[in-house]
Amino acid sequence: MAIDTAHTIAYGSPVGGSNVSPASLSNILAIQLREAAQAVAQEFGVNSIVDRLAQLPDQIRGHQVAVHAAKQAVAEAEDDLLTARASLVAMVATETNPATGKPAFTNPETREAELIRRQFDNVIYQDAMFRLRDARQTHAQAQAELEMLQNKFAATRKAADLVAGQLNLLASH
């Protein structure tokens, strides 16, 4: 078909001598141009880049929501841990020696040592500590995934810019 079109353009009539109307010639050229554009787009991966650029913003938004939720879970776990610790501090500070009626832990070092011992023995404190650790890990993972998607988006945009530049160079020659 390309030979017929080239012959028609060069000599005013297609190979074989039949006449082609200007409208038909225009349609043939449009089809060939469309096919050439599709071939170039496929060779340069334009459709793939466009698809990724269309999908990544929604994926990024989903991960932003996940990061926000994970950050809230960390804050809640921190509050729970502080509440559990405050309860233990109050217990240690108010505990009295039954024999003397005086405070059981009279100096800061003994109070701190008792607080640490009770933190390890207290199920509520331990649960809050483990939930905080898990919430921080979840937050870090969600943040890393978000950053990876943002990097992918930036790289895809750069690839799109490079392909556009290459296509502009081809079009100018």
Cβ neighbors of 159 (< 8 A, separation 6 or more) are 49
- Residue the block writes with tokens 């913003």: 57
Q: Kindly calculate the radius of gyration of the chain based on its CA atoms and give it in whole angstroms.
A: 36
Q: Report residue 68 CA to chain centroid gap.
A: 13
Q: Looking at residue 20, what is its pLDDT? A: 67
Report helix, strand or coil for 101: coil
Q: Looking at residue 24, what is its pLDDT? A: 80
State which amino acid sits at residue 81.
Answer: L
Tell me the backbone φ, ψ of residue 147, rounded to 5 degrees: -65, -35
**What is the CB-side half-sphere exposure of residue 146 using CA atoms within 13 A?**
16
Q: Looking at residue 162, what is its pLDDT? A: 86
pLDDT in tens, 136-172: 999 999 999 999 999 999 999 998 898 888 878 777 7
The one-digit pLDDT tens for each residue of the chain (173 residues) are: 555 555 555 555 555 555 667 778 778 777 776 776 667 777 777 888 889 999 999 999 999 999 999 999 999 999 999 999 999 999 999 999 999 999 999 999 999 999 999 999 999 999 999 999 999 999 999 999 999 999 999 999 998 898 888 878 777 76
